[in-house]
Chain A
Amino acid sequence: MRYYARKLGFYLVALWAALTLNFFIPRLMPGNPVDTLLAKLAQRGGTVDPSARRSYELLLGTDTGEPLWRQYAAYLGNVLRGDLGVSVSAFPAQVTEVIGQSLPWTIVLVGIATLISFALGVTLGTLAGWRRGSWLDSLVPATTVLAAVPYFWLALILVLIFSSSLQWFPLFGGYDTYLPTGWNADFIGSAIYHGTLPALTIVISSVGGWLLGMRNMMVATGSEDYILTAHAKGLRDRRIMTRYAARNAVLPSFAGFAISLGFVVSGSIITEQVFSYPGIGSKLLQAVENSDYALMQGIFLVITVAVLAANLVVDLLYGFIDPRTRVTT
């Protein structure tokens, strides 16, 4: 029990540290929301009367003149109450509303892509590691090359081939905007159709890592005594591969997977840029470009909590699976 209490305590401290950083880091950035907004308005539509500055300062409430420590205290209090404030770039929408609108898209897209990538990488890695020296080994350099290619370039090339030239996939967007939004077959179908190519790019660029890790673990596990014993018992090769070797080899990959699930929330900013996908990554970019502190803090908070939660789950599961980690020395 003490083990779990200690873990939870540690995560609470980590959460507080992350919240504090979330508060201060955006404020260290140069610029302020009003000047950014004015510069933007001046570019788009030309006329910005000098009176506009005062007016927007008052509207956005950026000119409070409150000392930083008081803002910090108010911020911590608001976070505890689930009030993340008002977004400046989407004024007067609540940050929670902005995040709520975009988060599901990212979770589904990047989540499914990560899942597919992991499953595919581990399966292929198992086979490649088990039959090392066979043609499957050539997958390792092939996929790592794809992982090494700059992601935005790969994505742009795929857009060029499959969307612009062949027109198999839509060029942009997360769904067909002509369809009524909701849980109906047409809309979900269009969402899947729109998400396929972005998901494909993520899978292609990340499958290499899982494959390589799994293959190397399989090679190491393959030389263990219990594998030799299993062979000596006359078990079927297939059974040894899946039940004896892969099960042990997958453990480190699985820990990595749990952590990468936490990062799903932070989305894939470039994916969302290239495909004009309506996810959290594009919101984060919008927040940074507009000095929208509240939205930045909100998104960082969601990301932090997701990563910490994933880590916590892994930690707790490890304590359960491997009792040695619970022993205090």
Chain B
Amino acid sequence: MTDVCIVGIGIHPFGRTEGRSGLEQGVFAVREALSDAGIAWGDVDFAYGASDAAGNPDTMVEQLGLTGAQFINVRNGCAAGGSALFSAQMAIKAGEADIGLAVGFDKHPRGAFDAKPAEYNLPEWYGDAGYMVTTQFFATKIMRYMHLNGISRETLGRVAAKAFRNGAKAPHAWRRDPVPLDVILDAPMVSDPYSKYMFCSPAEGGVALILASEKKARELGKPIVKLKAATMRTRPPGSFEVFAPSIDVERGGSATNIASRDAFEIAGIGPEDIGVAQLQDTEAGAELMHMAENGFVADGEQERYLREGWTEIDGRLPVNTDGGCLACGEPIGASGLRQVYENVVQLRGDGGARQVPGNPKTAYSHVYGAPGVSAVTILER
């Protein structure tokens, strides 16, 4: 099996772009990634594309060129982008192809996602009663976690404040203005304990990554960024997921626990070896809980971590260096790939004002989505 390298990256700025469809934002990102890799669309053997609400990714070929390339559509909740990347690297690892594309894009209407019960194997009354609301799940999950692990609401605020500070330094971010901690804490509540600044919003954007076998990557002469591990896992018994009319008394692990454990095992390194991490931060508490679920801290340690600035860009483990979902917004299909894009930028040393100091050698990404799927990647230069 060959190692898989990321040889080209492209992004369409996240946020709101009137007059440009989600698919067009994806095409924009693909053209950037091709140019970054120094190849043409005709060199790409196959593609995996992710979108939840902005059309079938394979129809991009009408704009990219009718080369006959294999193009598979992926739909996997918020983990769709991560799933597309996972699938694409498998094809190269297996020796089926030398150059592949993982692309994700989306464009959502304003307001919260409006999921339908039938799409999640749930009875209609559950939606009628007002429970098909993702924010409820996130709020109840952190409420329990804070209670058990002594996490303060101020720490939630610190996560959001850091996100907006970092987003201000990322050209592709949507929210580019820092927001002070007291404004975050005192803002109108959306779902307790979260105020409006503690949740990300559905948004728009596109990201493309060109993958190549190590041999091909060396031929292209690009800086070598290896995809040491890519895992995608579903949930175990006793997990607590989006849209759950009931949960098991006997508590268990999470999809993230498994995806993370397996990724570290495949990469042959541990959490202490990671130089920069992008963790799913649908809301402020998710970043905290995912720090623990991915093995970077013990439950409850986040209180001290955040107070002492360990997740800042110049901290012990910088987390969500481009502002994460809180600052970038969440276009479902593109979100997981944005994390990997940001990690490649960091490993190449191209982060500008948000560059992690000390030339990080390893980078970690984690995306989580309904109804309980997680995808993890570990990059190494």
- Chains A and B belong together in one complex: no
Residues of B within 8 A of A (CB): none
